[in-house]
Amino acid sequence: MLSPIRGFLVEYALALPPLVLAFDFNPQTLTRNRSVTLTLGSTPATRGGYDFALPTETARVAQGVAVEPESFDLEILLDATDRLNDGEPIATEFGIQPELDTLRSMVEPKTQGPGGLQVLASLGLGGQRAFQRAQCASVLLWVWGRHILPVFLKSIEVTESAHLPNLVPYRATLKLGLQVIEGNNPFYEAEKLQQFIGSGLNTGRTAGAAIGGLF
C-alpha cells in the first residue's frame, strides 16, 4: 500500500534535535496573503497615485508603493488514530505530543554554539562569547507539492480535540501563520522561476483561446 503524499516543515539549520513536522498533503484550509503599502507623498498629483499615460511612466506612478512579503495561513489536522490502531508504541504512549513539541521548538529562539550547531536558547548551552549568546529565529522550509519555500513561523494556534487516558492529545487542529523569506536564496529563486513559467503558460493559453475565438 502506498503511503499518502505529505507536506513538511523542515528546519534549515544544523540543529539539535533536527526538526521535521510532517502533515497530510491537503490541508483543511490554506490562505495566501500579499499586501501593498502606500506611502505616497502628501500632495500627489491625483488621489492614490500620480498621473500617467504610457507604460514607460509606471515606475514614477508607483513611487512610494511597497509590496509586503507573501504570507500563508495554514490549517492542518494531526491525528494519531491510525497509528494507535496499529499499536505503534510512540503513539500509544505519547499521542501527537512529539509533533506538538517539534512545532513549539520551531518557534523558540535558537543559540548558535561551536561548529555552527544550533540548540534551543532556553537550554542555556551557548558559549560565553557574544556571537554564541545571540538568539535567532528558525528558518524553515515549507515543502508542499512542487513548492519549497523558506519561511518564518509567525504564529501557532493549537486546538486539542481528543486525548488518551494519560491526557496527552492524539488529535489536534493546528493554525499556522507563515511568512515567506523573499531574498537571494536558492529556494525563493526557484519559486520565482516556477511562477514566471506558470504565468507564461497562462498567458499563452489565454492568447490561444482569444485567437481561437476569432475564427
- Per-residue model confidence as pLDDT tens digits over 166-199: 999 999 999 999 999 998 999 999 999 999 999 9
Per-domain residue ranges for the chain? 6-34+69-182, 185-215
Contacting residues for 85 by C-beta, under 8 A, at least 6 apart? none
Three-class secondary structure assignment of 60-79: HHCCCEEECCCEEEEEEEEE
Cell of 6: 505529505
Look up the pTM and report it: 0.79
User: Angle at the Cα of 205 (from 201 to 208), degrees rounded to 5?
Assistant: 140
For residue 6, the model assigns a pLDDT of: 78
Q: Which amino acid is residue 6, in one-letter code?
A: R
Contact between 15 and 113 under an 8 Å Cβ cutoff? The reply is: no
What's the start-to-end Cα distance of the chain, in Å? 50
Provide the residue count of the chain.
215
CA 157/CA 174 separation, integer angstroms? 6
For residue 63, the model assigns a pLDDT of: 77
Give Cα 208 distance to the centre of its chain.
Answer: 35
Q: Could you tell me the sign of the dihedral formed by the alpha carbons of 179, 185, 187, 188, in that order?
A: positive
Q: Which amino acid is residue 68, in one-letter code?
A: E
For residue 36, the model assigns a pLDDT of: 84
Report the candidate in 123, 135, 142, 134 with the shortest Cα–Cα distance to residue 191: 142
Contacting residues for 99 by C-beta, under 8 A, at least 6 apart? 21, 78
Torsion of CA 27, 194, 15, 84, to 10 degrees: 20
Residues of the chain with pLDDT under 50: 1-3, 42, 130-131
For residue 170, the model assigns a pLDDT of: 96
Which residues, in sequence order, are bridge partners of residue 162?
Answer: 171
